[in-house]
Amino acid sequence: MGQLNLNTVQKFYGTFEVLKGIELEVKNGEFVVFVGPSGCGKSTLLRMIAGLDETSSGDILIDGKRVNDLPPVKRGIAMVFQSYALYPHMTVFENIAFPLRVEKMPEEKLKAKVEHAARILHLDQRLQQKPGMLSGGQRQRVAIGRAIVREPKIFLFDEPLSNLDAALRADMRIELAKLHRQLQATMIYVTHDQVEAMTMADRIVVLNAGEIAQTGAPLELYHKPANIFVAGFIGNPKMNFLAVTCKGVVDAGVEVDYKGQTVVVPVRPHAGLVGRTLTLGVRPEHILLGAGDLSLTVTPTVIERLGAHTVAYAAIGGGEGENYCAMLPGTVAIRPEEQVLTGIRAADCHLFDEAGIALERRVELTDIDMGLLDPAAA
Amino acid sequence: MSQPAMINRYRWYELIAIYAGIFVFLAFILSPFVEGFLVSLKPLGLLFSSPYKFWPENGSFDAYRTMWVSVPGFARYIFNSFFISTIVTAVVLVLVVPSAYAFARFKFRGSGPLLAAFLAVNMFSGAVLLIPLFRLMRTLGVLNTYFAMIVPGVAFLIPSAIWLLRTYMMRIPRELDEAAFVDGASHFYTLRRVILPIAMPGITVVAITTFIGSYAQQFIFALTFNSKTEYMPLPIGLYAYFGRQEVIWNELMAASFVGIAPAVILIFLMQRYLVAGLTAGAVKQ
């Protein structure tokens, strides 16, 4: 109960194609996060699954049944809105009871259900208060309570935490993860915050310009991004990209040249690479102080001391802005406007072809078992 | 006493200028009422004394007693006014609440032109349409009834009421409708359980303005569409104090004050529904 299938789902606004044939399968009990930059269509897709926006073409199936033309309540979904959307004139009890009142549930049964939901969400003491008297986190819990009492097959969350402050967001993230384990329900969660995506998701769907850029477990996206977009989107600060030339293909991988230095990146090559300009990607947290397989002398312009880390920004390759970023240990002895030698290990590098598609990395995942990370394989 | 906010602090000469301005405008608005009240206290003979005395010497509330005797039907006129305005307000609300909701929420063909047309109707004063309306009423055979005074009143008050309430309802977050829809509520259920309670302050404003508007405009409709004494509303009824020889000014003034008293009391009572901040906590703003 709670299986969702999207078959070439499209959405047009006039002639503008917002969603370009989305194919997705969400298994029962899975926590799937849609993530992407604003305007990528993630909220539209969620609203189409909810039945608030019309689907232009393609099929939306819930438990194998086509629901395109059904109203939300017949689809077996419940939705939690970004802005909470609580009814301000009703008490917390009545807010949570609203869906049950609509279906005219007998008072006793209704009371039991509302109280059960309130207990799960620690709202038992607040049932007689109005939303205006609650804090942001409590309001969002009321909104979740209204979804729980319906016992839907699929929960839909539309950026539910983006209105909360940072500390509360971290708390709610943990509570949502616990709630998911407790209810064992299918949850689809839209966010633009990659921390929420990485921490809560069983599987992340990265959307870009109306298309699925990549689907996978959080660490799969981090270690094996399928293209430049996902590589740049997942990870903070953003991945560094350097233009390199392909010198040749060897057993160990692809040999590339960056301003006279050659390095062999352990990736699976494909034909016709030699002589091409490729993009080498390396995450800021993988840049080391001192020489590496590839060494760069840079002059940091801005240094941010975060305590645990020091983030240094520099401009390289005649770039206008700061296009090179290194995440170094917290107490590292570097100063702005003073040259520093940084190194990159070949094993940490990502390589992308001219179309922006990644050459698959031969990552030694000895310390992380991908099988455990990907629920599909487990 | 707490200090006013920085933005509200003024120098002494600014304060004097502000209060002087307030006094001038209030004097303009309130002096007719003061004079009217003073006149109602004076005996008739004193009104034409020369030199004119503003302050009533040996003033009394006699006029408030004698007014009921010289125009016996006056209570009926007050009732008529009140009755017509109440019915007009009720009918306007019943029609305007759903239509304002529709204009605020639904996209449908012609909603823009329709709203513009409503504004255009407001530009014609009722007076321009009196003759056509009179002919219409005569053809329908409804002259000299309450109906003739209520229906035009409703028609002329609906446009501004729709504009007023639509604006108010557009400020209610759309997510509330969507949340109710996701939970299976129909449009009417949403309107009744969610929108109506939240829109109550807006509806109260519309009710008050409609009631006042109806009170003010019934004069012109009553004058043209009705000639029966028993259906006369207050503004026409006041004419009864204009005698053949003389106008009983003190009783006329007393009657004016007594006549508007019920409306003032009603509006005073309705005011407590004008509570601000009813949407607090609905959505994050």
**Residue A288 near residue A342, CB atoms below 8 Å:** yes
| Paired strand residues for B283 | none
H-type helices in B53-182, by residue range? 62-70, 74-105, 111-123, 130-140, 146-170, 174-182
Overall average pLDDT of the A143-156 stretch:
93
What local confidence, expressed as pLDDT, does residue A98 receive? 95
Q: For chain B, first and last CA: distance in Å? A: 32
A155 — phi, psi (to 5°)?
A: -95, 135
Whether B207 and B184 map to the same domain: the answer is: yes
Scored b (16 or more CB within 10 A) or e, A5-16 reads bbeebbbeeeee
Going by C-beta distance under 8 Å and a sequence separation of 6 or more, which residues neighbour residue A347?
Answer: A266, A363, A364
Task: Write out the residue limits of the CATH 2.40.50.100 domain(s) in chain A.
Answer: 230-362
Return d(Cα A117, Cα A144) in angstroms, integer.
9
Whether B220 and B187 map to the same domain: the answer is: yes
Overall average pLDDT of the B109-138 stretch:
86
- Residues of B in Cβ contact (< 8 Å) with A86: 281-283
**Residue B71 near residue B65, CB atoms below 8 Å:** no
Q: Which of B207, B73, B81 is nearest to B150 (CA)?
A: B81
Overall average pLDDT of the A78-100 stretch:
93
Domain that holds residue B172: 66-273
Whether B89 and B210 map to the same domain: the answer is: yes
Overall average pLDDT of the A51-65 stretch:
93
What pLDDT band is residue A319 in, cutting at 50, 70 and 90? low
Joined tokens for residue A104: 């005219």
Whether B56 and B71 map to the same domain: the answer is: no
The β-bridge relationship of strands A57-62 and A65-66 is: antiparallel
**A4-214: CATH architecture:** 3-Layer(aba) Sandwich (3.40)
- Point out the least confidently predicted range of A51-60, A199-208, A363-372, B265-274: A363-372
Cross-chain residue pair A150–B277, CB shorter than 8 Å: no
The β-bridge relationship of strands A300-305 and A309-314 is: antiparallel
**Residue B93 near residue B203, CB atoms below 8 Å:** yes
Whether B219 and B103 map to the same domain: the answer is: yes
Return d(Cα A220, Cα A35) in angstroms, integer.
15
A60 — phi, psi (to 5°)?
A: -110, 120
Q: Give the number of beta-carbon pairs within 8 Å between A and B.
A: 84
- Calculate how close chain A gets to B285, using CA atoms only, in Å: 8
What pLDDT band is residue A378 in, cutting at 50, 70 and 90? very low
- Calculate how close chain B gets to A131, using CA atoms only, in Å: 5
Nearest CA in chain B to A147: B183
Return d(Cα A85, Cα A87) in angstroms, integer.
7
Return d(Cα B81, Cα A313) in angstroms, integer.
78
What pLDDT band is residue B269 in, cutting at 50, 70 and 90? confident
Counted domains in chain B: 2
Whether B112 and B227 map to the same domain: the answer is: yes
- Which A residues, 68 through 87, put their C-beta within 8 Å of a C-beta on chain B? 71-73, 77-79, 81-87
Task: Give A278-305 pLDDT, tens digit per residue.
Answer: 999 999 999 999 989 999 999 999 999 9
- Three-state SS at A247: strand
Whether B101 and B201 map to the same domain: the answer is: yes
Ranges A308-322, B40-54, B184-198, B223-237, most confident: B184-198
Task: Write out the residue limits of the CATH 3.40.50.300 domain(s) in chain A.
Answer: 4-214
Cross-chain residue pair A88–B280, CB shorter than 8 Å: yes
Domain end point (choices B16, B33, B60):
B60
- Three-state SS at A351: strand
Cross-chain residue pair A88–B284, CB shorter than 8 Å: no
Nearest CA in chain A to B182: A72
Structural domain includes residue B279: no
DSSP letters for B133-151: HHHHHHHHT-TTSHHHHHH
- Residues of A in Cβ contact (< 8 Å) with B194: 87
- Calculate how close chain B gets to A173, using CA atoms only, in Å: 19
**Residue A21 near residue A192, CB atoms below 8 Å:** no
- Residues of A in Cβ contact (< 8 Å) with B176: 85, 87
Task: Give B38-92 pLDDT, tens digit per residue.
Answer: 888 888 877 777 777 777 777 788 888 888 888 888 889 989 998 999 999 999 9
Q: Which of B219, B218, B205 is nearest to B267 (CA)?
A: B205
Whether B90 and B116 map to the same domain: the answer is: yes
- Calculate how close chain B gets to A5, using CA atoms only, in Å: 20
Joined tokens for residue A187: 């949850």
- Which B residues, 138 through 197, put their C-beta within 8 Å of a C-beta on chain A? 173, 175-176, 178-185, 189, 193-194, 197
Return d(Cα A264, Cα A247) in angstroms, integer.
10
Domain with residue B114: its CATH number is 1.10.3720.10
- Tell me, yes or no, if B57 comes closer than 8 A to chain A by beta carbon: no
User: What rounded mean pLDDT belongs to chain B?
Assistant: 86
- Residues of B in Cβ contact (< 8 Å) with A52: 178, 181-182
**Residue A202 near residue A32, CB atoms below 8 Å:** yes
Whether B171 and B198 map to the same domain: the answer is: yes
Q: For chain A, first and last CA: distance in Å? A: 20
Cross-chain residue pair B185–A102, CB shorter than 8 Å: yes
Nearest CA in chain A to B173: A85
What local confidence, expressed as pLDDT, does residue A206 receive? 95
Task: Give A220-244 pLDDT, tens digit per residue.
Answer: 899 999 999 999 999 889 999 999 9
Give which of B183, B193, B285 to mutate to test A binding, by max A Cβ within 10 Å. Answer: B183
Return d(Cα B267, Cα B213) in angstroms, integer.
13
- Nearest by CB to residue B281, choosing from A79, A131, A150, is A131
**Residue A9 near residue A48, CB atoms below 8 Å:** yes
**A230-362: CATH architecture:** Beta Barrel (2.40)
Domain end point (choices B39, B60, B81):
B60
- Tell me, yes or no, if B276 comes closer than 8 A to chain A by beta carbon: no
Angle between helix B12-41 and helix B62-70 axes, rounded to 10 deg: 50
Whether B79 and B118 map to the same domain: the answer is: yes
Structural domain includes residue B151: yes
Whether B50 and B91 map to the same domain: the answer is: no
Return d(Cα A71, Cα A3) in angstroms, integer.
18
| Interface predicted TM-score (ipTM) | 0.84
Nearest CA in chain A to B181: A72
H-type helices in A84-184, by residue range? 92-102, 107-120, 136-148, 166-183
Higher confidence at residue A277 or residue B268? A277
- Tell me, yes or no, if A134 comes closer than 8 A to chain B by beta carbon: yes
Angle between helix B74-105 and helix B146-170 axes, rounded to 10 deg: 40
Whether B164 and B33 map to the same domain: the answer is: no
- Nearest by CB to residue A134, choosing from B178, B194, B281, is B281
Query: pTM of the predicted model, to two decimals?
Result: 0.83
What local confidence, expressed as pLDDT, does residue B182 receive? 94
Give which of A75, A98, A135, A161 to mutate to test B binding, by max B Cβ within 10 Å. Answer: A98
The β-bridge relationship of strands A309-314 and A277-282 is: unpaired
- Nearest by CB to residue B183, choosing from A98, A133, A139, is A98
Structural domain includes residue B282: no
